[in-house]
Amino acid sequence: MKHENINQSSFGMIGLGTMGSNLLQNIADHGYSCSGYDNDPKKVDTVNKLGNDNIHAFSDIKDFVQNLKSPKIVMMLVPAGKIVDSVIAELLQVMDKGDIIIDGGNSHFTDTEKRFEDLEKKGYHFVGMGVSGGEEGARKGPSMMPGGDKKAYETIKPILEKIAAHVNGAPTVAYMGERSAGHFVKMVHNGIEYALMQLISETYEFMKSGLQMDDKEIHDVFKKWNEGRLKSYLIEITRDIFAYKKKGEDHLFFNDIKDEAKAKGTGKWTSQAAMDLAVPVPMIDIAVSMRDLSKYKELRTEASKLYPDATKSDLKDKTESIEKLEQAFYFSMVSAYAQGMHLLDQANVEFKYNLNLDVIAKIWRGGCIIRSEFLEDIYAAYKNNPKLAHLFLDDSIHKSLVKSIPGIRNVVSEAVLSGIAVPTYSVALSYFDNVRSEEMPANLIQAQRDFFGSHTYELKGKEGVFHTDWEDPNH
């Protein structure tokens, strides 16, 4: 493999934590000389001790930048927020106009929008890039979602395509679109991730409390599912979690973990953006809410004493129930992706990103956390019809979804009757039933709004906006 001159690095990385270090090693493994910078001397020392001739780390930002060939390419992997702005300010003191700055962290897309405009005015190229795949993805091949300066992307494209994961020979990286498009796409990716994780946790609860299955039986179900149409990274790691025991212990380790889920905020951002764009993403919304509710352990413990579980599950036929659960999971999984893609479609209209939904589905097929067998179907759907308004309208997905309807209705009904909380399953079904409704009961809401607030309404088959004095005795 060709090794470049260490004094003329092709790529610079700021932030030498596990993600930054792994990504640098990935780049170096593909023959590129890299430079790294961190203000923590221990992290710098750790990277320099890797013994990789293609990597050299610095604790002085000026030395770091001087080691890069022009145009200089510097990627930041630092916590979102003010730290990103402070690092950019430092870089502008030592970089030249025409150089490329990449933000590879989980920045909010509105921050990326401002940074793009500011740096463009100052003569710098800025790329906001979502990176998914975790530590292992960074080392072996992530999925990357760069947006912003198209000219800059063309410069960094050869490196990114080499270090990305590959599916059927195609790299899981592509130009997403204008300005903050990359970080918006990554945000929606994370929102879908929240929904799928909550869905899997409810599936576990249904098997455990409803079907009275033990951990080994549950492991076997996830193992089987990962060999079929539900095959995905999240199902795969869930299967492995249900097999992991600490050395010398005879019980599954995850049972020792507190039932209080943490979050870094990207799911909430997805819900907020969807609200602003008036796009319903109820599965993502409820997943965020359930993580929030999990934190109120003391409240839940107190309430559990006041409202003990008085219902008993009557699900005796496990085989039939698991078949229906598989249908329900497929149905809900489709809905989670469909809601996320619908949000991307509407954001494209509002923000003029020039997104290509088939390209997004294509690069999500490998490397990222929400990679799954079903993404092949999503890719095919948008490839076949780039103007597809909603995944539910695709012919192939429609056929599979219809076959899964009995399963989702059964699981939601049985869960409710058994006192088992399945909020994502429930909203997946309610969302579907409303999407397929030619008429919703929203006419009553309009009448109520007009009654108490004179907010007016429109009438069927009649042009104009109207108001009624609902309390007029002479109507």
pLDDT on residue 253: 94
pLDDT score of 475 more than 90: no
Could you give the CA distance from residue 375 to residue 184 in angstroms, rounded to a whole number?
19
Phi, psi dihedrals of residue 73, rounded to the nearest 5° = -115, 115
Q: Place 310 in a pLDDT band, splitting at 50, 70 and 90.
A: low
What pLDDT is recorded for position 3? 42
- 162: pLDDT strictly greater than 60: yes
Q: What is the pLDDT of residue 311?
A: 67
Where helices occur in 418-456 by DSSP H, the ranges are 423-435, 442-453
Q: Which residues are annotated as part of the binding site?
A: 106, 132-134, 189-190, 194, 264, 291, 449, 455
Buried b (16+ CB within 10 A) or exposed e, 31-46: ebbbbbbbeeeebbee
Q: Distances in Å between the alpha carbon of 377 and those of 225, 395, 400?
A: 17, 11, 11
Q: Which residue has the higher pLDDT, 344 or 264?
A: 344
CA dist 9 and 33 (Å) reads 5
Single-letter code of the amino acid located at 65: V
- pLDDT > 90? residue 313: no
Dig out the tokens for 128 from the structure: 């906001």
Contacts of 228 (CB under 8 A, 6+ apart): 326
pTM above 0.75, yes or no: yes
Compute the distance between CA of residue 225 and CA of residue 458 in angstroms, rounded to an integer: 48
User: For 191-233, what is each residue's pLDDT tens digit?
Assistant: 999 999 999 999 999 999 999 999 999 999 999 999 999 999 9
118-134 tens-digit pLDDT: 999 999 999 999 999 99
Whether the CB-CB separation of 374 and 321 falls below 8 Å is answered with: no
Concerning whether 193 is annotated as a catalytic residue, the answer is yes
Please calculate the CA angle 340-344-347 and round it to the nearest 5 degrees.
Answer: 135
Structural domains of the chain sorted by starting position, each given as residue range(s) with its CATH number in brackets = 11-179 (3.40.50.720), 186-435 (1.10.1040.10), 448-475 (1.20.5)
Tokens 């899964």 locate to 404
- Contact at 8 Å (CB) between 22 and 134? no
Cα dihedral angle (194, 200, 205, 207), rounded to 10 degrees? 170
pLDDT per residue as tens digits for the range 48-62: 999 899 999 999 999
CA distance 172 to 141: 8
Structure tokens at 38: 């961190």
Please provide the DSSP assignment of 3-37 as one string.
Answer: ---TTSBSEEEE--SHHHHHHHHHHHHTT--EEEE
What pLDDT was estimated at residue 316?
66
Structure tokens at 51: 């013994």
Q: Exposed (0-12), middle (13-18) or buried (19+): which is 392, by Cβ within 10 Å?
A: middle
* Residue 330: partners with Cβ closer than 8 Å, 6 or more residues away: 229, 230, 400, 404, 407
pLDDT at 7 over 80: no
Q: pLDDT category, 4, cuts 50, 70, 90?
A: very low
In degrees, rounded to 5, the angle at the alpha carbon of residue 460 between the alpha carbons of residues 454 and 463 is: 75
Q: Is 62 helix (H, G, I), strand (E, B) or coil?
A: helix
Confidence of residue 402 (pLDDT cuts 50, 70, 90): very high
Give the distance from CA 146 to its chain's centroid: 15
Q: What is the pLDDT of residue 312?
A: 66
Residue 124: which of 156, 82, 91, 83 has the closest Cα? 91
**pLDDT averaged over the chain?**
95
Single out the catalytic residue among 43, 113, 178, 186. Answer: 186
CA angle 284, 413, 240 (to 5 degrees): 55
Active site residue 186: yes
DSSP helix/strand/coil, 347:
helix
User: To 10 degrees, what angle do helices 374-384 and 318-351 make?
Assistant: 40
Q: Is 53 helix (H, G, I), strand (E, B) or coil?
A: coil
Enumerate the known binding-site residues for substrate.
106, 132-134, 189-190, 194, 264, 291, 449, 455
- pLDDT tens track for 83-104: 999 999 999 999 999 999 999 9
Residue of 113, 178, 193, 414 marked active site: 193
